[in-house]
Structure 1
Amino acid sequence: MNSSNSMSSSQPEDLAPEPGAAPSEDGLTELLIGLLKLCSLIGDPMKVGVCDPVGASTNEVKVVMALAGEGPLAGHDLVHITAMSAMNVSRAIAGAKARGWVEDFNDPENRRRRPVRLTSAGEGAYRQMQPMLHDVAQSLLGKLTVRQRREMGHLTDLVLRRIAEWNAAQPQDHSGDQAGS
């Protein structure tokens, strides 16, 4: 049985299209709806399993995770990476600064750029989150086979690349995009 057959045959009923909705011929619309639902619902386990135990907002944790993975970033970079609004990124940076997790960083190659980076306390908080992240991952993904995990990782990477390509092809509107450029 190939992966596409196994996905459709084992699809939970709550990911099925709404009753009365016209199914798309190729199944793409239903797949997109399922992905949207997944993206919306995965926030709850992250909040309960990671954010609440460290006493941080979901957005603060997203900023910490982005900085831990990418190094110093400006607000507009965080807007792009986290898919949060500029206002939410600014608030998350302020909250993480108040916790001592984030500090301003001077970019020697671009003095106009205003990046932030993790402090040693922020790096410690990120390390503290690791077992919690693993527990959430185990709860949500632990029953997948190694092959399914590999396939899901590959497919996730492909969709993320397509999103980046789609975003790059869109007209750029920077009017409300200033979260500490």
Structure 2
Amino acid sequence: MNSSNSMPASPPEDAPAEDGLTDLLISLLKLCSLIGDPMKVGVCDPFDASTNEVKVLMALAGEGPLAGHDLVHITAMSAMNVSRAIAGCKARGWVEDFNDPENRRRRPVRLTDEGEATYRRMQPMLHGVAESLLGKLTVRQRREMGHLTDLVLRRIAEWEAAQPQDQAGS
């Protein structure tokens, strides 16, 4: 019998009862890892852009001007990857520095007109990927998935807020 068909070993006696949460978390981690490939092929490659550049473009399109540390948080990318993505987007003419009149120390970037136009041109490709991956879900399943996704995102924000400051970004 091969290992993929064998029964898992019994959990240790002090292990918590199996409630499916760990399996669900693992499935979500797998989903998050694998969804990047259709996005790369379906959206990034046609624009000859990196996945990180597209993430920055999408974050700025959805949120408006953001500083690098905000992009780190929103995109879950490392500071170095955000910095490189911003530089790439600037070189393409998609983003520019923005002076925040309320906080002169803050160094946000924002979409340029070309960045906004590029984001609009990406919309049909984003819809194509969405249709490919989610199009067979019923309207009810889409609503439920949206609701559950929002709920998990709120729980992540609550978890992050409860972390000691020195560990929150690690």
Q: State TM-score, norm by structure 1.
A: 0.84
1: distance between equivalents of 2:10 and 2:52?
Answer: 36
Tell me the CA shift for residue 171 of structure 1.
Answer: 1.2
Tell me the CA shift for residue 20 of structure 1.
Answer: 2.4
2: distance between equivalents of 1:102 and 1:20?
Answer: 51
Match of 1:39 in 2: 32
Q: Please, which of 148, 152, 170 is the counterpart of residue 163 of structure 2?
A: 170
Match of 1:114 in 2: 107
Match of 1:125 in 2: 118
For residue 20 of structure 1, what is the amino acid of its counterpart?
P
Structure showing greater Rg: 2
1:56-67 to structure 2, matched below 5 A, reads 56-67=49-60
Give structure 1 stretches of 5+ with no counterpart: 1-15
Identity fraction in percent: 86
Give structure 2 stretches of 5+ with no counterpart: 12-16
Tell me the CA shift for residue 173 of structure 1.
Answer: 2.7
Q: Please, which of 130, 145, 149 is the counterpart of residue 137 of structure 1?
A: 130
Encode CA deviations 1:89-140: one digit per residue, 9 max, x unaligned.
0000000000000000000000000000000000011001100000000000
2: distance between equivalents of 1:30 and 1:145?
Answer: 24
The answer to whether structure 1 residue 102 and structure 2 residue 95 are counterparts is: yes
Q: How many aligned positions are there?
A: 160
1:86 to 1:144, Cα distance in 2 relative to 1, 3 A: same
Q: Please, which of 75, 86, 95 is the counterpart of residue 79 of structure 2?
A: 86
Q: Secondary structure at the match of 1:173?
A: helix
2: distance between equivalents of 1:149 and 1:71?
Answer: 26
Moved over 3 A (4+): 21-24
Encode CA deviations 1:71-104: one digit per residue, 9 max, x unaligned.
0000000000000000000000000000000000
1:141 to 1:110, Cα distance in 2 relative to 1, 3 A: same
1: distance between equivalents of 2:54 and 2:140?
Answer: 29
Q: Secondary structure at the match of 2:110?
A: strand
Q: State TM-score, norm by structure 2.
A: 0.89
2: distance between equivalents of 1:100 and 1:168?
Answer: 35
Q: Which has the higher contact order (CA 8 A, sep 6+)?
A: 1
1: distance between equivalents of 2:7 and 2:160?
Answer: 32
